[in-house]
């Protein structure tokens, strides 16, 4: 059936040529001030390698190479998180896919390890607090027969044994886990608040809380209810004195609204992005899939960026913080599928990886000063104008809903 596609051989040849011309592909990129951290697939290497560079045009400097550990086992970086100032890095590297790797902290400049490994079982969801001195992570112990997770607080440089659980079945007050739940904490350097999202045993249903991150750093957070399961909220992020949320309550394709972080009130929340023909949905992660309503909000210094899925292709809506805020879609160079999306809360614009029907993978950046989406300079991928092109067509379903 595929052989019957017009110009299939030419399309395949162009994609293969582009891929071969770029043996250094970006899997994920995180921007922290002038520092850009990239996890890259390098031809000849079994696992992606972690680099840092001082600006898009600068040369890469090696941080972590999993293949450097020559012990006959396969090692892979499954998570990495630079501190907000870009001076420290936390990462987890698994062995033979065992999902039990320890969290290691290093100084980005000297590459020296900071303290001992955080050896909590199945630790993940590493998140730095804005003070760049504390981080939280999630784990589950072997004696947790019910599958209840825990969230612990780590003070950089301290012993792992001194880490404290701030969330568990018995810690967290109204936010304490019940049954096989897990929590995800979101911080921002431009907000005094942290948002906690708790995924229940019923897939896709979440409840949310908010607390001051300084109280978390002290190990004594006071969680205020933000959204209940019935509110249909799927994700939330802090910005300033507000929390921005995505919900499908009364909006099957989702909408974005905001409420006060000090005194949350969902019933009187302000709508920021109304429901439209596009579905609010974040890009694919390393797992290779995306879920509607999840991981779709990104707060940069200049604007709120909202990831969309529109007719099979991804799009980005930009909502400036300055009033009156006029939302606008970023103009993409071609119909894209996004594989990674990042912002630096202390800088303008956004960065994202893309693929296309007749384009090899690329990495793009939106610059609000020029108003253009262009190559980020992190990945060398030739875009030939003479190659085969793709055209999008839209048909309504039998019920006329799409």
Query: What's residue 354's pLDDT?
Result: 87
In angstroms, the CA 276 to CA 149 distance is 36
> What contacts 121, CB < 8 A, 6 or more positions away?
100, 139, 140, 141, 142
When pLDDT is averaged across residues 24-50 and rounded to a whole number, the result is 88
Determine phi and psi for 288, rounding to 5 degrees.
85, 15
pLDDT range class, residue 285, cuts 50, 70, 90: low
In angstroms, the CA 392 to CA 119 distance is 49
From the list 236, 216, 186, the residue with the least C-alpha distance to 84 is: 186
Locate 83 and state its tokens. 């501190």
Highest average pLDDT, of 5-19, 222-236, 287-301, 375-389, comes from: 222-236
For residue 338, the enclosing domain spans 1-29+291-390
CB 88 within 8 A of CB 56: no
Helix (H, G, I), strand (E, B) or coil at 66: helix
Query: What's residue 291's pLDDT?
Result: 64
Is residue 15 predicted with pLDDT exceeding 70? no
Model confidence pLDDT, tens digit, residues 110-161: 999 998 888 777 788 999 999 999 999 998 876 555 567 889 999 998 988 8
Locate 348 and state its tokens. 């303008």
When pLDDT is averaged across residues 240-264 and rounded to a whole number, the result is 95
The count of structural domains within the chain is 1
200 part of a folded domain: no
In Å, how far are 33, 303, 325, 349, 370 from 322, measured between CA atoms?
22, 8, 6, 14, 18
Output the average pLDDT for the chain: 86
Helix (H, G, I), strand (E, B) or coil at 320: strand
Helix (H, G, I), strand (E, B) or coil at 43: coil
Is residue 286 predicted with pLDDT exceeding 60? no
CB 275 within 8 A of CB 254: yes
12 part of a folded domain: yes
Locate 36 and state its tokens. 């850009």
305 part of a folded domain: yes
Locate 262 and state its tokens. 């000090």
377 part of a folded domain: yes
Is residue 369 predicted with pLDDT exceeding 80? yes
Determine phi and psi for 160, rounding to 5 degrees.
-60, -35
Which has the higher per-residue pLDDT, 3 or 290?
Answer: 3
In angstroms, the CA 132 to CA 384 distance is 43
pTM of the predicted model as reported, rounded to 2 decimal places: 0.87
243 part of a folded domain: no
């Amino acid at each position: 059936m595929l052989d019957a596609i017009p110009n299939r051989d030419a399309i395949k040849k162009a994609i293969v040529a582009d891929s071969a011309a770029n043996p250094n592909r970006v899997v994920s990129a995180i921007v922290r001030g002038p520092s850009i951290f990239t996890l890259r697939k390098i031809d000849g290497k079994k696992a992606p390698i972690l680099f840092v560079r001082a600006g898009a045009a600068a040369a890469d400097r090696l941080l972590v190479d999993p293949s450097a550990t020559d012990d006959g086992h396969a090692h892979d970086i499954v998570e990495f998180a630079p501190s907000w100032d870009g001076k420290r890095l936390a990462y987890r590297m698994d062995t033979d896919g065992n999902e039990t790797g320890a969290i290691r902290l290093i100084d980005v400049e000297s590459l020296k390890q900071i303290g001992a490994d955080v050896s909590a079982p199945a630790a993940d969801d590493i998140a730095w607090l804005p003070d760049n001195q504390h981080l939280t992570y999630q784990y589950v112990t072997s004696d947790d027969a019910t599958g209840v997770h825990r969230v612990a607080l780590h003070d950089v440089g301290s012993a792992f044994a001194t880490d404290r659980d701030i969330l568990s079945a018995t810690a967290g007050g109204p936010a304490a886990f019940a049954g096989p739940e897990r929590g995800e904490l979101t911080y921002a350097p431009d907000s005094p608040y942290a948002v906690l999202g708790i995924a229940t045993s019923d897939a896709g249903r979440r409840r949310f809380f908010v607390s001051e991150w300084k109280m978390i750093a002290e190990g004594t957070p006071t969680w205020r209810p933000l959204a209940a399961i019935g509110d249909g909220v799927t994700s939330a992020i802090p910005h300033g004195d507000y929390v921005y949320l995505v919900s499908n309550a009364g909006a099957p394709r989702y909408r974005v609204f905001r409420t006060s972080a000090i005194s949350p009130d969902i019933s009187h929340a302000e709508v920021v992005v109304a429901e439209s023909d596009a579905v609010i949905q974040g890009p694919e992660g390393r797992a290779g899939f995306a879920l509607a309503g999840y991981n779709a909000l990104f707060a940069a210094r200049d604007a709120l960026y909202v990831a969309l899925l529109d007719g099979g292709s991804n799009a980005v809506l930009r909502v400036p913080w300055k009033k009156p805020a006029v939302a606008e879609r970023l103009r993409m160079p071609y119909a894209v599928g996004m594989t990674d999306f990042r912002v630096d809360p202390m800088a303008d614009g956004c960065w994202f990886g893309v693929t296309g029907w007749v384009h090899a993978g690329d990495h793009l950046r939106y610059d609000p000063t020029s108003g253009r989406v262009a190559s980020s300079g992190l990945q060398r991928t030739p875009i030939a104008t003479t190659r085969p092109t793709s055209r999008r067509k839209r048909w309504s379903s039998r019920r006329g809903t799409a």
